[in-house]
Amino acid sequence: MTECWSYSLRDLLLFSPRTYYRLFELYNIELWPLQLLFLALGAAILLLWRRRSELAGRALAAIIALCWLWVAWAYLSQRYASINWAANYYALAFALEAVLLLWLGVVRGRLTLAPVGSVRQRIGLGLFVFAWLCFPLIGPLLGRSWPQAEIFGMAPDPTALATLGILLLCGVRPLWWLFPIPVAWCLISGATLWAMDSPDFLVAPLGALLAIGIASSSRVLKSS
Amino acid sequence: MTAPTSIPPPPNNTRRRILGIIAAAPLLLPTMGLTLQNRPATRPIPSSGEPLPLVGLGSWITFNVGNDKAARDASAEVMRNFFQAGGRLIDSSPMYGSAQEVIGYGLKKIGRPAELFAADKVWISGGDEGGNQMEESRRHWGIPRFDLLQVHNLLSWQAHLPTLFAMKASGQLRYVGITTSHGRRHGEMEQIMKAEPLDFIQLTYNLYDREAEQRLLPLALARGIAVIVNRPFQQGDLLRRLARHPLPSWAAEIDCSSWAQFALKFIISHPAVSCAIPATTRVAHVLENVGAATGRLPDKPMRARMAAFADGL
């Protein structure tokens, strides 16, 4: 096993950047205009958050769980697995996150919604809006084509970041059970992009580390 | 001027054609000679004497294009041109994502050339699942049997080699081999080469990774084991490094027209090497690669000059 550590990330990359981004392109073209529905779901999440009822919290958790299930099946299992055999394991992890969201958020109602009153919640709101509206622009801004845009609810990176944003927004105390999978995904994705020399490789890991850091120190940062 | 009319064939037509061909032979020979000269050079597989072109086709990363039809068609064109240029050996592995399926797609599209030398690997822990994996690989390729199966990165080689030797004995396989890459586990590979009746080994060897010259390549020569060379361009890093400098004028002495050919000629001119397997997505590159096995190859002093030159860059 010691020899595993002598491989660089580039040695372990199974596909070319062209193939990786083409996967998003074909996925988006094939499913258009489903992107509009997922963008609308992002708006629905914000509306539910503003209502701040227990039922709205459960509905919000159901929407995010649906997004994780969709990414697990439609992207990771049906598409990414065709070029990366590890993607089936990622799909299982995404499905597990969906189950956790359903259990903690929908069944037990632990995703309590509150107005923005702390630094943690402000950053959570910012992270969610970034993942929802700004993340799809990163690819085109870096010279990739519009069909290669990564959309919240359809692509794993913005879905993971948006979920971390929601987790910072909701609840008095962080729901720690829901953090590990999105954070792990952001780190894996960052490593993959780094191996492909993609200039945006830091976006998802930095977002995840910010979420973890803020969640851990939320008491200290709580505003007056 | 009238249109030509149908002229009855002269008597003894066959004899006239034969005489015509003989008369035209001096005119045809240069063309025939050129054609033959442009076919890639071969080296016999030591365990059988079967000639194998010195340049093959790898599939790591380049053929892992998933279900993208345009990319699959492009891969098929690379394969078509590879065979038309005289190539034979294509190498893959179950580790390479969709590469096996893409090869199968390409072979079906271009009509599986008879010259194909199908090389694949078994890559799974434990021996029990090896048979299933090899069968699945064969189905992906869409071929009746593999020519060569290798134990990928020596993974569970103790379990897989007896299976492969049994397959060879029963005619389900022609050759058996083991692989490593990136210069890893050479000591273990050496022990297996000494102990097992291998037909092939596969390892990394190129202008900058030359450790195999010390023990493994001489041992392969001594034991009559064919050598497939992977990572001839270090996944492109080697060519990017060389491309910053002009090709030396003396490269013309060995009929090199590019750095890729320079790097490949260095590898395939080692007497122990049977085949280098560069991977590519481009038709122009596959023709350039196979072209490295044509023309003059460097002799020992020239090989030393090439290595020293590369080290000095």
Going from N- to C-terminal start, the domains of chain B cover: 43-312
CA–CA distance, B191 with A210 (Å, rounded to integer): 51
| pLDDT at residue B56, as a whole number | 98
Kindly report the backbone phi and psi dihedral angles of residue A196, in degrees, each rounded to the nearest multiple of 5, phi listed first.
Answer: -90, 5
Residue A113 near residue A204 (C-beta atoms within 8 A): no
Helix (H) or strand (E) holding B185: none
Residue B139, pLDDT above cutoff 70: yes
A128-132, B25-29, B37-41: which has the highest mean pLDDT?
A128-132
| pLDDT band for position B253 (cuts 50, 70, 90) | very high
Q: How distant is the Cα of B54 from the closest Cα of chain A, in angstroms?
A: 25
CA–CA distance, A10 with A8 (Å, rounded to integer): 5
Residues of chain A found within 8 Å of residue B233, distances taken between Cβ atoms: none
Residue A218, pLDDT above cutoff 90: no
Residues of chain A found within 8 Å of residue B66, distances taken between Cβ atoms: 15, 19, 23, 79, 82-83
Q: How distant is the Cα of B9 from the closest Cα of chain A, in angstroms?
A: 59
CA–CA distance, B120 with B92 (Å, rounded to integer): 5
Q: For the ranges A82-91, B119-128, B187-196, which has the lowest average pLDDT?
A: B119-128
Chosen from B64, B69, B189, B285 to mutate, greatest number of chain A CBs within 10 A: B64
Of chain B, the percentage scoring pLDDT greater than 70 comes to 88
| pLDDT band for position A92 (cuts 50, 70, 90) | very high
CA–CA distance, B67 with A23 (Å, rounded to integer): 9
| pLDDT at residue A3, as a whole number | 62
Count, residues in chain B: 313
Across the interface, of B66, B184, B235, the residue whose CB is closest to A83 is B66
**Mean model confidence pLDDT for chain B:** 89
Encoded tokens for B295? 């023309």
| pLDDT at residue B128, as a whole number | 84
Determine the average pLDDT of the residues in B145-160.
97
| pLDDT band for position A113 (cuts 50, 70, 90) | confident
Q: For the ranges A215-224, B82-91, B265-274, B304-313, which has the lowest average pLDDT?
A: A215-224
> Would the CB atoms of B281 and A16 count as touching at under 8 Å?
yes
| pLDDT at residue A4, as a whole number | 63
Q: How distant is the Cα of A26 from the closest Cα of chain B, in angstroms?
A: 8
> Would the CB atoms of A79 and B66 count as touching at under 8 Å?
yes
Task: Please indicate if any CB of chain A lies within 8 Å of the CB of B172.
Answer: no
CA–CA distance, B150 with B277 (Å, rounded to integer): 14
> Would the CB atoms of B68 and A7 count as touching at under 8 Å?
no
CA–CA distance, B269 with B296 (Å, rounded to integer): 10
More confident residue, A16 or B10: A16
**Mean model confidence pLDDT for chain A:** 92
| pLDDT at residue B6, as a whole number | 35
CA–CA distance, A164 with B224 (Å, rounded to integer): 59
The greatest distance separating any two alpha carbons of chain A, rounded to the nearest whole angstrom, comes to: 54
A212 alpha carbon, distance to own chain's centre:
14
Residue A87, pLDDT above cutoff 90: yes
More confident residue, B145 or A171: B145
Residue B208 near residue B267 (C-beta atoms within 8 A): no
More confident residue, A180 or A110: A180
Determine the average pLDDT of the residues in B133-138.
97
| pLDDT at residue A173, as a whole number | 76
Residue B117 near residue B143 (C-beta atoms within 8 A): no
Cα B188 to Cα A19, B90, B181, B200, B201: the distances in Å are 35, 26, 13, 15, 12
| pLDDT band for position A219 (cuts 50, 70, 90) | low
DSSP string, B218-273: HHHHHHT-EEEEE-TTGGGHHHHHHTTSPPPGGGGGGT--SHHHHHHHHHHTSTTE
Across the interface, of A3, A26, A83, the residue whose CB is closest to B97 is A83
* Nearest residue to A18 (alpha-carbon basis) of A110, A143, A131: A143
**Residue B119 bridge partners (DSSP):** B91, B148
Encoded tokens for A99? 């189950």
| pLDDT at residue A118, as a whole number | 83
Across the interface, of A3, A26, A83, the residue whose CB is closest to B98 is A83
CATH number of the structural domain B43-312 = 3.20.20.100
B117 alpha carbon, distance to own chain's centre:
9
pLDDT one-digit tens code per residue, B62-112: 999 999 999 999 999 999 999 999 999 999 999 999 999 999 999 999 999
Q: How distant is the Cα of A42 from the closest Cα of chain B, in angstroms?
A: 30
Q: How distant is the Cα of A83 from the closest Cα of chain B, in angstroms?
A: 5
| pLDDT at residue A56, as a whole number | 92
> Which ipTM was obtained for this model?
0.90
Buried b (16+ CB within 10 A) or exposed e, A111-148: bebeeeebbbbbbbbebbebbbeebbebbeeeebeebb
Ordered alpha helix ranges (H), B39-169:
69-84, 99-110, 130-141, 157-169
Neighbour count for residue B240 (Cβ, 10 Å): 12
More confident residue, B78 or A11: B78
Residue A179 near residue A96 (C-beta atoms within 8 A): no
Kindly report the backbone phi and psi dihedral angles of residue B272, in degrees, each rounded to the nearest multiple of 5, phi listed first.
Answer: -85, -15
Q: For the ranges A138-142, A149-153, B22-26, B250-254, which has the lowest average pLDDT?
A: B22-26
| pLDDT band for position B28 (cuts 50, 70, 90) | very low
pLDDT one-digit tens code per residue, B175-225: 999 999 998 999 999 999 999 999 999 999 999 999 999 999 999 999 999
Residues of chain A found within 8 Å of residue B281, distances taken between Cβ atoms: 16
**Residue B42 bridge partners (DSSP):** B53
Count of alpha carbons within 13 angstroms of residue A70, beta-carbon side: 20
CA–CA distance, B33 with B68 (Å, rounded to integer): 41
Q: For the ranges A54-58, A204-208, B16-20, which has the lowest average pLDDT?
A: B16-20
Residue A128 near residue A67 (C-beta atoms within 8 A): no
Query: At a CB cut-off of 8 Å and minimum separation 6, what does B127 contact?
Result: B156, B159, B160, B162, B163
Residues of chain A found within 8 Å of residue B98, distances taken between Cβ atoms: 82-83
CA–CA distance, A147 with B183 (Å, rounded to integer): 40
Please name the residues between 117 and 156 in chain B that touch chain A, using a CB distance below 8 Å: none
Chosen from B96, B98, B156 to mutate, greatest number of chain A CBs within 10 A: B98
Residue B156, pLDDT above cutoff 50: yes
Q: How distant is the Cα of A29 from the closest Cα of chain B, in angstroms?
A: 12
